[in-house]
Structure 1
Amino acid sequence: MFTIIIVVLLATLSFTQQERSIVGEVSVPAPVAEVYNAWTTEDGAKTFFAPDCKIVLKAYGEYEMYFLADAEPGSRGGEGCKVLGFEKNKMLSFTWNAPPSLPDVRKHFTHVTVYFLSVGDSVTKVKLIHDGWGAGDEWDKAFNYFSAAWLKIVLPRLKYRFEHGPVNWDNPPKLN
């Protein structure tokens, strides 16, 4: 009995060490409908997220961001990603993959959920949670990469877009 308890405790410890999420929040000076549309429409995403994209807002519709539009297919960015769910002006969830520089992890998909909360007529609080991470060196690299990407690039650019206008992709702002 004692051996079983130790095994269960070790398994639980091991399991909780693998659980991890990237969590970021930003307050955006815009109404919730405008911020939601920035994430859920191609025209909106091109103003802060990526220079090109494909978004089909339906369950399992495409949610692809192309950061390197001229690269070979499969190496342009968030290709193959799909909408998991959405609730107008409240939530968007989609799959996400690692950059081409991490090919073993890129074959797998993680999950991103973005929540939108109206804080008055002209401020929206955005909360992003990125989970579904595996274990190992390449997974650690992907986790660190996206910790920086979401928290130091994407969310700050979202706020920038509503404070200063759309991102100029020929000269994107340096925000970190």
Structure 2
Amino acid sequence: MRRALAALCMFAAGQAFAAEKAIDREVVVAAKVDAVWQAWTTTEGIKTFFAPDARVELRVDGPFEIYFNPFAQPGMKGADGMRIIGFQPQRMLTFTWNAPPHLPEARANRSVVVLRFEPVGDAQTRVTLHHIGWGEGGEWDKAYDYFSKAWPNVLGNLQKRFASGPVDWTEWLARMKATQ
């Protein structure tokens, strides 16, 4: 009886895990792991592909704040208040994430992003993104749809950063400043 109960519990746990809503994306970048790792784990690196400003301190519970609109009020700049959960140098980075400001109900909560870095040959890196921790219904569904479209753009910018240079945020910043 105990074996049957244990098997049933393991089956149910597996089914619950299998049902977890996630966004999974992958990209190969024309750069060595060290360079791609630096792009994701430093303030200066983030500003080359992700957003015009950031605050990143690579340590457990360190800030992983990405400022899409540096001119906005605190708490409304983008990924304000996000934290690094854990990391393995040049292999894995995990951080909390929130919804954009136009989805305040979902924004009040946190989801989790796991990035993995894997060398591909001598001068390429596979970056896999796994975004989990989604609620159900309402703004959660809108946030999921938003990031299903946003993460491919971020990863595309990462590729471009190593193919043709850092993103020039001049026009973006002018638009953001004009909205204030």
Once the two structures are TM-superposed, the CA of residue 19 in structure 1 deviates from its matched residue by 1.9
User: CA–CA distance in 1 between the matches of 2:32 and 2:40?
Assistant: 13
Alignment of 1:15-26 (within 5 A): 19-26=20-27
The residue that corresponds to 1:159 in the other structure is: 159
Give the residue type in structure 1 aligned to 2:155: L
Gaps of 5+ in 2: 1-11, 173-180
Cα deviations across residues 67-126 of structure 1 (Å, max 9, x unaligned)? Answer: 000011111000010000111110100000001111111111100010000011100000
TM-score of the aligned structures, taking structure 1 as reference length? 0.86
1:145 paired with 2:149, answer: no
Pairing 1:53-68 to 2, within 5 Å after superposition: 53-68=54-69
The answer to whether the aligner puts 1:133 opposite 2:143 as a matched pair is: no
> Is the CA contact 1:30–1:162 (under 8 Å) kept in the aligned structure 2?
yes
Shift of 1:18: 6.1
Q: Does 1:170 align with 2:162?
A: no
Partners of 1:41 and 1:61 in 2: how far apart? 11
**Contact residue 18 and residue 135 of structure 1 kept, 8 A:** no
Instruction: Structure 1 unaligned segments of length 5 or more: list them.
Output: 1-10
Q: Taking structure 1 as reference, are residues 100 and 78 closer, same or farther at Cα in structure 2, changes over 3 Å only? A: same
Aligned positions of 1:22-37 closer than 5 A: 22-37=23-38
Name 1:89's counterpart in structure 2. 90
Find the residue that maps to 2:146 and give its secondary structure. Answer: helix
Q: Is the Cα–Cα contact under 8 Å of residues 81 and 95 in structure 1 kept in the other structure? A: yes
Distance 1:104 1:17, change over 3 A: farther
Structure 1 ranges of 4+ moved more than 3 A: 14-18
Inter-partner Cα distance in structure 2 for 1:76 and 1:51:
11
Shift in Å, 1:170: 2.2
Number of residue-to-residue matches in the alignment: 161
Q: Which residue of 1 aligns with 2:77?
A: 76
Over aligned residues, Cα RMSD in angstroms? 1.9
Structure 1 counterpart of 2:22, one-letter code = S
Compared CA separation, residues 16 and 113, structure 1 to 2 (3 A):
closer
Q: Secondary structure at the match of 2:149?
A: helix
The 2-side partners of 1:87 and 1:56 are apart by: 14
CA positional deviation for 1:16: 6.9
The answer as to whether partners of 1:96 and 1:110 remain within 8 angstroms in 2 is: yes
CA distance in 1, matches of 2:25, 2:107: 22
TM-score by length of 2: 0.85
d(CA) in 1 for partners of 2:94 and 2:159?
A: 20
